[in-house]
Amino acid sequence: MVLGFDELSGWAAASNPGMNMCIGRVSGRTAAPGFSLDGEAHTLGGCDGGGGGIKGETNLHGGPAGFASRNWTIEADDDTSVTLSLLSEDGDQGFPGELRVSLTYSLVGGSELRLRYSASTSKPTPVSLTNHAYFNLGASPTVHDHTLQLNCSGFNPDDGSGDGVPTGEYRSVKGTVRDYALPTPVAKVIEGQAGDTPLWPHGEQFVVDGMRGRDPNEVAQAGDASLYYLPLVGTLAEPSSGRVLSIFSSEPIVQTYYSTLLADTEVGKGGATYEKYGGICLESHRPANAENVEGQPEYGDRIVRPDKNYEQNTVWKFTVPDGGSASTTTTTTHPDGTVVTTVTSSCGL
């Protein structure tokens, strides 16, 4: 249900577009030349163009040698979980502070994959971690037949240049092509954004309704006790198989990416070549470029200080019809007349 590679060489290749990797120190795009924190300027490395019209000086996902390209240390593992750690030195890629990161992947109940992040720093520094999984829940080479529903009433647009750096503005999605309050065909999602912002058709930074005004670190810790405390970000469904992915997270942002830059250049699992729109990424993280947003305190921040750790709790819950288990078919009619059929199941994987 995710794109990927059969061999380590595929994962380690410089051409790997971050498939299923942990992104950091920060997620998303940070405007050049970097940021100022507590009166000190910090210059970040550019992403060398990165494709999709991104300026060469813009920092993407922490830079050209971010956490996605590092070898992590296995600290512990058992039949249902693995805990990894990473030490990022003070000054790594231009970021202040020595950062110690822990990430545990755990399978819960056979149907939930929990991603539990924690990080501590020796100096104030931006931190925003995410996972860059490319989901494709069906057998089709593209995700056009999937449906996407997001509990996000607003998004953060860029400045219109096509560089993808959020300005911090909150813009309502109600009545627009970015309104996915109801399950929406991904083909329509892609077409709508490409038509509205042709310079930036790749995805969008959406603001999660259930996290507005809340402390992500506190929500993450509460989520350790129960999934009940984590807001439902949204769902991705593939009608022909009935597979549904529900995302719960402590993070205020979900960044969509429609794999617009895949182009039959990556040879993946079983020798498959991944084409444009072959997967969809739904990245939970803190607001991108937050250090450079002024006068909009509601946008939030991603600064971690020595007296308080960074915490994130994101859960991917899967359901799929299985044998004689019950499944439900729901038909939804959008205001524009589009009819969407979604099959859901009460069972786990």
For residue 187, give both structure tokens. 């083909």
Q: Is there a cis peptide before residue 171, judged by omega within 30 degrees of 0?
A: no
Identify the burial level of 265 via C-beta atoms within 10 angstroms of its C-beta, where 0-12 means exposed, 13-18 middle and 19 or more buried: exposed
For 281, the 3-state DSSP assignment is strand
Q: What is the DSSP string of 226-267?
A: -GGGS-EEEEEEETTTTEEEEEEES-SEEEEE--TT--S-EE
Bridge partners, 87 (sequence order): 100
Phi then psi dihedrals of residue 220, to 5 deg: -60, -45
Give me 44's structure tokens. Answer: 């970040």
Structure tokens at 275: 């084409």
- CB–CB of 196/190 below 8 Å? no
99 and 198 in contact (C-beta within 8 Å)? no
Residue 299 phi/psi, 5-degree rounding, is -65, -30
61 classed as catalytic: no
Catalytic-residue membership of 202: no
The active-site residue, picked from 61, 132, 202, 285, is: 132
Longest CA pairwise span in the chain (Å): 63
From 204, 251, 266, 283, the catalytic residue: 283
Residue 230, strand partner residues: none
* Residues recognised as catalytic: 132, 283
